[in-house]
Amino acid sequence: MSDVTLQQVREALERIRERIQPTPVLRSDRLDQITGARLFFKCENLQKTGSFKARGALNTVFSLSEDQASRGVATHSSGNHGAALAWAAGMRGIPATAVMPSNANPVKVAAVKGYGGTVIFCEPNHKAREETAARFISETGAHMVHPYNDVRIVAGQGTVALEFLREMPDLDAIVTPVGGGGLLAGTAIVAKGLKPAIKVYAGEPEGAADASQSFNSGVRTPVSNPRSIADGLLAFVGDITFPEIMEHVDAIATVSEDEIERAMKLLFEELRVPVEPSGAVSFAAVAGGKLDVKDRNVGIIISGGNIDLESNPWARPPAK
């Protein structure tokens, strides 16, 4: 029995639909030609706060009882979830605090603060994030909103796929990025619940490939010291998300840093939309030929667009 159900995702969409942005689905003939598939891009980079994370955060914050919400919410985050939680908390009129690594992207730190959140910095590793957040919650009584390992978060993220498949019911496959697994698990629950024959795939950076290794072995196995320009995908799959992934996902492909940069550049050139490295990983897996999608209708979720324009990885000056 799944911890997260299709009905919970439907309820989440009803809860958040008036507050989120229904995101567009874009097409490109050239990208179809490059990949040999018919691609449909669900642009969550154009979502409120610049990523799909707004959905899960909003669903969770507005699921809280008055007592749970009274002391505010807290989380740990590389950026997008923290910003989304601060935004959602602001809509409910409660405080939000995000524990962030000391090397977090300055643009994402500024976003958390810009939405009214408080930032606490910690050492740049997963253990420090969890311990710092736990200490803050113990001291303040704030309600923890985990970035991915939470049924309410997974249900909220699943609304991307629910919206997508209502718009594009003839998809043969759907592809997401994977870090902690909230988006992938939610997508898989919805996709397989609505169309059992649909293929559900994910892309993951080679330098942070715990999801693919865990998926292939069947045992949840963290990667020590994950590294990638896709900073939003450095988390470990959770004990809530992993069983859903094992049950419903068909394949997880890994991509190189160069493939991520190329995907970002192609998406900007062909769709005219900004896509952050984490958001481009799903397309990178398709463009790199890592998934069997030829001649199929393929939905690709672009998960975020919060780019630091000062350090855009594919716009570096040429070497002298």
115 and 161 in a single domain? The answer is no
70 is catalytic: no
244 and 274 in a single domain? The answer is yes
Residue 276 in contact with residue 307, Cβ under 8 Å?
A: yes
Pairing of strands 38-43, 25-26: antiparallel
Tally of domains in the chain: 2
**Residue 312 falls inside a structural domain:** no
User: Cβ–Cβ contacts within 10 Å for residue 131, how many?
Assistant: 15
**Residue 229 falls inside a structural domain:** yes
162 and 262 in a single domain? The answer is yes
137 and 166 in a single domain? The answer is no
Nearest to 157 by CA among 14, 49, 9: 9
| pLDDT tens readout for residues 50-76 | 999 999 999 999 999 999 999 999 999
**Residue 76 falls inside a structural domain:** yes
Nearest to 28 by CA among 261, 281, 302: 302
- What CA–CA distance (Å, rounded) separates 181 from 214? 12
158 and 254 in a single domain? The answer is yes
44 and 79 in a single domain? The answer is no
Query: Catalytic pick from 51, 77, 78, 214?
Result: 78
User: Which range of residues forms the domain containing residue 95?
Assistant: 54-144
47 and 64 in a single domain? The answer is no
| pLDDT tens readout for residues 80-133 | 999 999 999 999 999 999 999 999 889 899 999 999 999 999 998 888 999 999
Token pair of 102, please? 């000391």
162 and 140 in a single domain? The answer is no
Q: What is the reported pTM?
A: 0.94
Last residue of a domain, one of 113, 144, 175: 144
Q: Can you give the pLDDT at residue 304? A: 96
Query: Catalytic pick from 53, 108, 192, 199?
Result: 53
53 is catalytic: yes
Q: Can you give the pLDDT at residue 105? A: 87
Last residue of a domain, one of 144, 161, 191: 144
1 — pLDDT class (breaks 50, 70, 90):
very low
97 and 31 in a single domain? The answer is no
**Residue 320 falls inside a structural domain:** no
Last residue of a domain, one of 94, 121, 144: 144
**Residue 1 falls inside a structural domain:** no
Instruction: Read off the pLDDT of each residue in 307-318 and give the average, rounded to a whole number.
Output: 65
- What CA–CA distance (Å, rounded) separates 248 from 235? 20
For the domain that residue 79 is a member of, what is the CATH number?
Answer: 3.40.50.1100
87 and 222 in a single domain? The answer is no
Q: Is the pLDDT of residue 314 over 70?
A: no
**Residue 316 falls inside a structural domain:** no
129 and 25 in a single domain? The answer is no
155 and 283 in a single domain? The answer is yes
